[in-house]
Amino acid sequence: MKQLDGKTAIILGASAKGNLGQTLAKRFLSEGANVIVSGRREEELAEFSKENNCAYKPCDITKKSDCEALASFAQDKYGRIDIAINSTGWGLLVPFLETSEDDLAKMTALQFVGPYYFYQAVIPHMTKGGSIIQISSATATIMLDNHAAYMGTKAGTDHVIRCIANEFGEKGIRANSISPGLTDTPMTEGAFAKPEVVACFAREYPLGRVGTKEDIANAAIWLSQDGCFMTGQNLQVNGGLTLRRNPRAYEISEAFMASGS
């Protein structure tokens, strides 16, 4: 018997090739879950769905109606929702004083308001309890230069997760967040193209390496099992990075220069 046999999982943020959402989806499928992948790019979702024999439904997380339609789709297809994962994000790197009004509006919509809509939509369909998982970031706890809008909205949504855990625990709904550090995804492909930059980060990790998408998938599988007696927590799945620090902006720039960029 597989770990998630018969469970229905929505994975939002899976519409970019090879991203964390797609890695999560493949792992959940391998553990027996019925998986619905979602995101804004329908063509990529359709291709992934065909290749991996799973369902898909486009959704712009910043639109409440889209989130409600996604939840209704899962309900109609599988009868309930057991697992809801939000892995969307925008890695904006802009100095604090240069962050524009438009930047703030987009970031807040994507990383605070949107997740709120998503969880409001799925909770009524978790009739037999379930697991909500927010993909957060180590930078919601520790610093990274020029990343304030991203960090602040991730931290805010972490606290919303705690509120959900507190309010809906009596219905058997668990809510937790996972905080990776630097991870090889389409969002960070520029950094991973430069070994010197990756090494600049890796030296800050007590376990000696930066994280992988599979590290995050392992944690998500555990959080999704019925035997997981945890809620309202933020799992620092980042090799101990939060015991130390991220490199400063000047150190990252020096690493890029050393790489010949």
Coil, helix or strand for 7?
A: coil
Distance CA 61, CA 200 (A): 34
Distance CA 40, CA 14 (A): 9
Cβ–Cβ under 8 Å, residues 94 and 34? no
Report residue 242: phi and psi, to 5°.
-70, -10
250 classed as catalytic: no
Catalytic residue among 78, 117, 119, 150: 150
φ/ψ bin of 260: left (φ > 0), alpha (ψ from -120 to 50), beta (otherwise): left
Q: Which two tokens stand for residue 154?
A: 């991730």
Find the largest Cα–Cα distance for the chain.
Answer: 56
Residues acting as catalytic residues: 150
